[in-house]
């Protein structure tokens, strides 16, 4: 049975969906004002493995929502600076995020709402209306605030000291000090040059926190939802405020289990634009590394432990992925009859260890260790000629089942199936090379051939033309 660490209770608890065998899970998605970085993707890759574990190991159905925050202080400022509408400004960042998630092999959630969708804005207005009726709000200068003193349980998730809370002090910013709990804004009064809506709240736009509360309950249904997840930096104020809004409006527990993924550090330090170490997936690729290796690295440590990203670590991840993929390929070459009990025992031990590790609060580090123990034993058996085709088939079934959760082998195989250079570019360069040879510019012809070879594409000149293949 699955056990998950619940941030709300600060302990591991047995987990099962509350009804219908369907896990209703919400995860806070990106604020779409810039390309997501590898710190963001640690959270989404770990939660993807949680989703896969719930589906493929525990046998549950999953209904997951991951939102796009496309209206907040940052997106509005970015759109104004770009001279674009909010929708036109955020659309390319949403597209980039989806592309990066696909490159990392992250399964697509069932729901990917935008905060500015009319249905979601209407749900926010309705939730604010419920909070007003329940006595949790006040208005000031056209804005609506949540009064934290009206909710005795406020601060439970973040373990805040209620005695130190500043009653009546307000904050209008979407993000604010993690050490200074205040009444927070639910709906911001309309300002010149800012987008504005009115769903019974008066003209203005939502604060950041109300967006997720309203979208989670609109899309996932009656509270409590089963799992609410995100990065550890969201515990306060964002997740604390989500609880306040949702429970203040409904009178019901908002979420049963809270899952938070720890920080990713880079070369031992925090990511910072000033240090130039906030890496995107594109920058990882420019350094010669593939998304499958990054996915492996992001899973190499337990999600509740801080992980240190290094380029040496990426080199080691590339080698680790290669070892697993090579072993899986070797199994296709094994022939012979019969079975070998030591091989079958190693396969079964790995299967049990892998499952136990994931059911023990998603211990991906231990799960990967089980896979590598199996790879070692399988390679040794193949080298010694002590494996049959039947043994190999059994091993492939277990490795493939493990990868259905980890998503590393299938991602590497998909990468290998793609040319290292876009096919259109290869064909264009082949034509340029043909023209160069036609005018007897053999230096240019050789340069194109050599550059493609360096990028992993080999050209073969045939009587009927030039063909290319992967190196």
Write down the pLDDT at residue 104: 98
Q: pLDDT grade, residue 471 (50/70/90)?
A: low
Number of alpha carbons in the 13 Å side-chain half-sphere of residue 2: 22
Question: What's the burial of 54, exposed, middle or buried (CB within 10 Å: 0-12/13-18/19+)?
Answer: buried
Residue 11 bridge partners (DSSP): 6
Q: pLDDT grade, residue 127 (50/70/90)?
A: very high
The predicted-structure confidence for 262-311, as pLDDT tens digits, reads as follows 999 999 998 887 778 899 999 999 888 999 999 999 999 999 999 999 99
> For residues 406 and 324, what is the distance between their CA atoms, to the nearest angstrom?
12
CATH architecture of the domain with range 273-417: Orthogonal Bundle (1.10)
State whether CATH 3.40.50.620 applies to domain 3-261: yes
Residue range 393-422: average pLDDT? 94
Please answer whether residues 69 and 29 qualify as being in contact, where contact means their C-beta atoms are separated by less than 8 angstroms: yes
Q: Within 10 A of 202 (CB to CB), how many other CB atoms are there?
A: 17
Please answer whether residues 50 and 9 qualify as being in contact, where contact means their C-beta atoms are separated by less than 8 angstroms: no
What is each CA distance from 46 to 71, 104, 294, 304, 365, in whole angstroms?
A: 26, 11, 12, 10, 11
> For residues 98 and 104, what is the distance between their CA atoms, to the nearest angstrom?
10
Write down the pLDDT at residue 176: 82
> For residues 111 and 124, what is the distance between their CA atoms, to the nearest angstrom?
17
Share of the chain above pLDDT 70, in %: 99
Per-residue pLDDT at 189 exceeds 90: yes
Residue range 76-97: average pLDDT? 97
The predicted-structure confidence for 226-261, as pLDDT tens digits, reads as follows 999 999 999 999 999 999 999 999 999 999 999 999
Average pLDDT value over all residues in the chain: 95
Per-residue pLDDT at 167 exceeds 70: no
Write down the pLDDT at residue 163: 73
Number of alpha carbons in the 13 Å side-chain half-sphere of residue 200: 13
Write down the pLDDT at residue 290: 93
What is each CA distance from 236 to 154, 207, 302, 374, 377, in whole angstroms?
A: 11, 15, 22, 42, 46
What is the bridge-based pairing of β-strands 137-140 and 143-146?
A: antiparallel
Residue range 144-161: average pLDDT? 94
What is each CA distance from 443 to 175, 452, 466, in whole angstroms?
A: 58, 14, 17
Write down the pLDDT at residue 179: 73
Q: pLDDT grade, residue 460 (50/70/90)?
A: confident
The predicted-structure confidence for 438-456, as pLDDT tens digits, reads as follows 999 999 999 999 999 888 8
What is the bridge-based pairing of β-strands 204-206 and 183-189?
A: antiparallel
Q: pLDDT grade, residue 166 (50/70/90)?
A: confident
Write down the pLDDT at residue 371: 98
Structure tokens of 381? 């058996």
Per-residue pLDDT at 374 exceeds 90: yes
Number of alpha carbons in the 13 Å side-chain half-sphere of residue 422: 3
Nearest to 362 by CA among 12, 59, 19: 12
Residue range 401-419: average pLDDT? 94
Residue 111 bridge partners (DSSP): 65
Residue range 386-400: average pLDDT? 98
Concatenate the DSSP letters of all residues of 185-236 into one string. EEEEEP-TTS--B-SSS-SEEE-HHHHHHHHHHHHH-SSPEEEEEEEGGGII
Range with the poorest average pLDDT among 307-316, 349-358, 411-420: 411-420
């Amino acid at each position: 049975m699955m056990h998950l660490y619940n941030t709300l209770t600060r302990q591991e608890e047995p987990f099962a969906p509350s009804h219908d065998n369907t896990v209703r899970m919400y995860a806070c998605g990106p604020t779409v004002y810039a390309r997501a970085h590898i710190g963001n993707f640690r959270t989404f890759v770990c939660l993807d493995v949680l989703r896969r574990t719930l589906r493929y190991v525990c046998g549950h159905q999953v209904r997951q929502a991951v939102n796009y925050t496309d209206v907040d202080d940052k997106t509005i400022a970015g759109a104004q600076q770009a001279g674009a509408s909010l929708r036109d400004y955020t659309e390319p960042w949403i597209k980039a995020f989806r592309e990066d998630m696909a490159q990392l092999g992250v399964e697509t959630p069932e729901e990917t709402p935008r905060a500015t969708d009319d249905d979601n804005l209407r749900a926010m207005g309705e939730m604010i209306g419920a909070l007003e009726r329940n006595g949790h709000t006040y208005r000031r200068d056209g804005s609506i605030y949540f009064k934290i003193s009206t909710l005795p349980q406020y601060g439970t998730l973040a373990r805040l000291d209620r005695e130190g809370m500043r009653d009546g002090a307000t904050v209008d910013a979407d993000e604010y000090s993690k050490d200074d709990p205040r009444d927070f804004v639910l709906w911001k009064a309309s300002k010149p040059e800012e987008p504005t809506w009115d769903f019974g709240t008066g003209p203005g736009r939502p604060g950041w926190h109300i967006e997720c509360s309203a979208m989670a309950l609109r899309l996932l249904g009656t509270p409590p939802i089963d799992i609410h997840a995100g990065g550890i930096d969201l515990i306060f104020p964002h997740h604390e405020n989500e609880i306040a809004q949702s429970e203040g409006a409904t009178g019901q527990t908002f979420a049963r289990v809270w899952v938070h993924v720890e920080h990713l550090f880079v070369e031992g330090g925090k990511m910072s634009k000033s240090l130039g170490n906030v890496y995107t997936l594109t920058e990882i690729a420019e350094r010669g590394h593939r998304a499958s290796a990054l996915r492996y690295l992001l899973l190499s440590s337990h999600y509740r432990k801080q992980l240190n990203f290094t380029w040496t670590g990426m080199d080691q991840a590339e080698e680790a992925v290669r070892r697993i993929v090579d072993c899986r390929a070797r199994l296709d070459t094994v022939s012979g009859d019969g079975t070998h009990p030591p091989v079958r025992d190693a396969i079964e031990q790995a299967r049990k260890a892998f499952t136990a590790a994931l059911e023990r609060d998603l211990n991906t580090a231990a799960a990967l260790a089980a896979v590598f123990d199996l790879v070692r034993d399988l390679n040794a058996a193949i080298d010694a000629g002590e494996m049959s085709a039947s043994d190999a088939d059994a091993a492939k079934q277990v490795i493939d089942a493990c990868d259905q959760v980890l998503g590393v082998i299938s991602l590497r195989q998909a990468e290998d199936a793609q040319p290292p250079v876009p096919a259109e570019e290869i064909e264009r360069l082949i034509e340029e090379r043909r023209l160069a040879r036609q005018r007897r510019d053999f230096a240019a012809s050789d340069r194109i051939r050599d550059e493609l070879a360096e990028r992993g594409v080999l050209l073969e000149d045939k009587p009927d033309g030039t063909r290319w293949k992967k190196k």
